[in-house]
Amino acid sequence: KIKVPLRIKIFKWFIHKEVILTKDNLMKRNWVGNPRCCFCDQNETIKHLFLECPLAKLLWRSIHIAFNIQSPMSINTLFGTWLN
């Protein structure tokens, strides 16, 4: 019911269902490759990519400074403050 573009709703649903093709999800599908984040050398998961990676933390700090939006504490609250 919220007026946001359909692609944002779908993206949020993919994140919520944890089906974004991060390296950990690719490995579940028999992908052979390096499971490490290319930005910080930690295992790449959805939570890591959107919240824990140093680059993600830098981006969230920039968003907070520019728009006064607090960084999310979990994947479930990732879009929560934007929708308010």
Per the structure, the complete domain to which residue 59 belongs is given by 6-74
Predicted pLDDT of residue 31: 94
Does residue 81 form part of some domain?
no
pTM for the full predicted model = 0.79
Predicted pLDDT of residue 1: 62
Residue 62 DSSP one-character state: H
Does residue 80 form part of some domain?
no
8 three-class SS: helix
Q: CA-based Rg of the chain, rounded to a whole angstrom?
A: 14
Does residue 56 form part of some domain?
yes
Strand partners, 62: none
Does residue 83 form part of some domain?
no
CA–CA dist 24, 55 (Å, integer): 18
* Confidence grade of residue 51 (pLDDT, cut at 50, 70, 90): very high
* DSSP count for the chain of H helices, then E strands: 5, 0
Domains of the chain: total: 1
* Confidence grade of residue 83 (pLDDT, cut at 50, 70, 90): low
